[in-house]
Amino acid sequence: MVKGVLLDLSGVLYEGDRPVPGAAEAVAKLRAAGLPVRFLTNSTRAPRRKLLEKLRKMGFELEDDELFTPAKAACEKLEENGLTAHLLIHPDLAEDFAGYETAETPGAVVVGDAGTHFTYDALNAAYRTLADGARFYALAANRAFCDADGALSMDVGAFVAALEYASGTKAEVLGKPAKAFFHTALDEMGVAPEDAAMVGDDAESDVAGALRAGLGRAVLVKTGKYRDGDEAGTDPAPSHVAADLSAAVDWLLS
């Protein structure tokens, strides 16, 4: 029996600036059934504040601490290890790292989806910091995301791989599919992994990642970045494939 649910944001709750039809009602249905819900995203172009605003404007009800982002996980990691960071991120995300960025001998490099700010000079500056011995933290390592025009665009994963290759330093991924990212949300809910379910549109990071992290169920929805056949290319395979979040919630509650 499912006792708690983790939900991806982009592609599951909304696509671009439009909510997925029925998604807000589906979240409310989970809560009405007495299930705790937490929201996990690998989006790293917008600060946490903006994501919360966006969700609420679309009709989703949530508390601030119900949203888990890779930037928050990174700041906790930096704090835990007493580190400041060289940031290769989108400028809009900078507010989430207030107090952790430094230009003087940073102990870590943090890479997120910088978009058009992934210039050679920016990548080379990160490479040089890694070559000097800094730790390497990737907010995510996704291959692609569903862009505002509905087509797939390159995500941060290719840039993380380039820096790994050049520096010889393996990045520690802090967002999905990192086991700790899922478990932090589950611990906060007080739900054991085997009693939890994840719903996402990314067969690799959301679904297979959740199942590898020990979650009992993971549902792939056919919205957002989903493309025909995605469910056949991952191991472990999704527990279920649903048309959208509404259908996923109906399956989970059944």
Q: What is the pLDDT of residues 136-194, one digit of tens each?
A: 999 999 999 988 888 999 999 999 999 999 999 999 999 999 999 999 999 999 999 99
* pLDDT digit string, tens, across residues 29-72: 999 999 999 999 999 999 999 999 999 999 999 999 999 999 99
Whether the CA torsion 26, 31, 33, 39 is positive or negative: it is positive
Under a CB-based contact definition with an 8 Å cutoff, are residues 45 and 89 in contact? no
Q: Report the SS3 class of residue 111.
A: strand
Contacts for 49-57: CB closer than 8 Å, 24+ residues apart? 49/95, 50/92, 51/9, 54/14, 55/9, 55/13, 55/14
In the chain the first and final C-alpha atoms are separated, in Å, by 10
Is there a single domain that holds both residue 166 and residue 196?
no
Residue 224 sits in a domain whose CATH number is 3.40.50.1000
Structural domain contains residue 80: yes
Q: With a cut of 90, say whether residue 13 has pLDDT above it.
A: yes
Q: Which of 173, 205, 229 is the last residue of a domain?
A: 173
Is there a single domain that holds both residue 161 and residue 201?
no
Please give the pLDDT value at position 186: 98
Please give the pLDDT value at position 143: 93
Helix (H) or strand (E) holding 106: none
Structural domain contains residue 54: no
* pLDDT digit string, tens, across residues 203-254: 999 999 999 999 999 999 999 999 999 999 899 999 999 999 999 999 999 9
Query: How far is it, in rounded angstroms, from Cα 125 to Cα 203?
Result: 33
What is the domain extent for residue 219?
Answer: 4-40+176-253
Structural domain contains residue 89: yes
Is there a single domain that holds both residue 97 and residue 15?
no
Is there a single domain that holds both residue 227 and residue 166?
no
Is there a single domain that holds both residue 167 and residue 183?
no
Structural domain contains residue 62: no
* pLDDT digit string, tens, across residues 15-34: 999 999 999 999 999 999 99
- Residue 13 to residues 17, 25, 27, 59: CA-CA distances in angstroms? 10, 10, 9, 10
Is there a single domain that holds both residue 118 and residue 136?
yes
Q: With a cut of 90, say whether residue 195 has pLDDT above it.
A: yes
Q: Report the SS3 class of residue 3.
A: coil
Helix (H) or strand (E) holding 146: strand 144-146
Model pTM score = 0.94
Query: How far is it, in rounded angstroms, from Cα 108 to Cα 169?
Result: 12
Is there a single domain that holds both residue 77 and residue 147?
yes
Phi, psi of 128 (to 5 degrees): -65, -35
Helix (H) or strand (E) holding 125: helix 120-131
Burial of 115 by CB count in 10 Å (0-12 exposed, 13-18 middle, 19+ buried)? middle
Distance from chain centroid for Cα 39 = 9
Query: How far is it, in rounded angstroms, from Cα 6 to Cα 34?
Result: 14
Q: Report the SS3 class of residue 62.
A: coil
Structural domain contains residue 219: yes
Is there a single domain that holds both residue 191 and residue 168?
no
Is there a single domain that holds both residue 79 and residue 99?
yes
Q: Which of 112, 146, 173 is the last residue of a domain?
A: 173
Is there a single domain that holds both residue 87 and residue 147?
yes
Structural domain contains residue 53: no
Structural domain contains residue 48: no
* pLDDT digit string, tens, across residues 83-114: 999 999 999 999 999 999 988 899 999 999 99
Query: How far is it, in rounded angstroms, from Cα 239 to Cα 198?
Result: 10
Q: Which of 173, 195, 211 is the last residue of a domain?
A: 173
Q: Please tell me the total count of domains within the chain.
A: 2
Is there a single domain that holds both residue 219 and residue 235?
yes
Is there a single domain that holds both residue 166 and residue 228?
no
Structural domain contains residue 102: yes
Q: With a cut of 90, say whether residue 1 has pLDDT above it.
A: no
Phi, psi of 109 (to 5 degrees): -110, 130
**Identity of the residue numbered 221:** V
